[in-house]
Structure formats: structure tokens, C-alpha cells
Amino acid sequence: MQKHISKIRMLFILFFISILSFGNNIAFAEVNGNVKSLPGSSCIAYRNQDSVSYSNAIGAITNKLSTRNFVICPIVRDNHKANNSHLFSVRINLNKKTTARVACYLGSHSADGGTSRYYYTSISGSGYQRITFNQNISSFRMGAFSLICGLNGSDRLINYSWEEVYIDDPDYI
């Protein structure tokens, strides 16, 4: 009898956990967002790879020049066939060694490269800083996004993240 009660109790607990898990999946699905994050070492120098250093410990990229240096960072899309894919809340985390302004450009490009939209934001001050793009940045069908930041001398791009949100697209495979 004791074993039978234990089995019933165990089945009840497993059933309860599965209901909670199912409920959490439903709540998560309603968010419709897909947040991705990459280390700064995913970025490359715009002109000269010798002008930056990469930190293995935290995965950051640092400008070795005493002047401004531009880095390009990849943004990967999950739903590149959708017309209605958007980026929300692109966030760039920096460790600024100077108080000079750091500027970042976020581009949305058509597949043939003929059409682009650019968004700009910047931040000044030193220490740990976050640059955020809060716009609804629409994509082009089969297009790409690009992130370009101008780092000042010894500034470090630690990591960056973005959220891709899309509406159901009948052409999405």
C-alpha cells in the first residue's frame, strides 16, 4: 500500500510540474521576442585588424589606437525571409576609458544592397556605459542588419545584444 501511495504521489508531482512547465512555455511564447547576445570579440575593426585587441577572458574588443576606430559587429537574423521582422532594444555594453562620445550606427539593408536605413545613437562619459537603440527597426525581406561603433582610444566594447521580433509570415519556412 505504501509503494502504491508513493507512486500516485510521484505521478501527481510529475503531472503538476508538467502543467507548470506548459504554463511557462505559453507565457514565454507570448513575448514573441528572441534575444541574442554576442561578445565584443565577435566584432572586427573596420580598416585594420592590428588596431584592436581581443580579450580572451571576457570576449571584449578594445581599440588600441589613440584616435577613434570603427568596429563592425554582426547581427544574426533567425527569420530572414520575413517582411515584418524587426529589431527592438539593441544594447551595446562598453567600458569607456575617455569621456569622448562613442557613436553607433545600426543599419538595415536590402538583399541586393541597394536600399538601406540607418539609425544613430551615442553616449558620452566614462566607465561602464550602455548604448541602446529603442526604435522599432524594420528589416528588408532577405536583408541584413549591421552594427558599427566608433570607439575612442582604449575604449572597450564588452558585449552587445538584440531582440528580433516578427509577426507570422506565410512565406517563412
Residue pLDDT, tens place only, 79-125: 655 555 677 679 999 999 989 999 999 988 888 888 888 899 999 99
Q: Please enumerate in sequence order all residues whose Cβ is within 8 A of that of 78, keeping only pairs 6 or more positions apart, or say none.
A: 34, 164
The topology (CATH level 3) of 33-166 is Jelly Rolls (2.60.120)
State the average pLDDT over residues 152-160: 95
By DSSP bridging, strand 44-45 and strand 69-75 are antiparallel
The answer to whether residues 156 and 99 touch, using CB atoms and an 8 Å cutoff, is no
Q: Average pLDDT, whole number, for the chain?
A: 76
The answer to whether residues 56 and 39 touch, using CB atoms and an 8 Å cutoff, is no
Residue carrying the nine cell digits 551595446: 92
80-93 pLDDT, tens per residue? 555 556 776 799 99
pLDDT attached to residue 81? 58
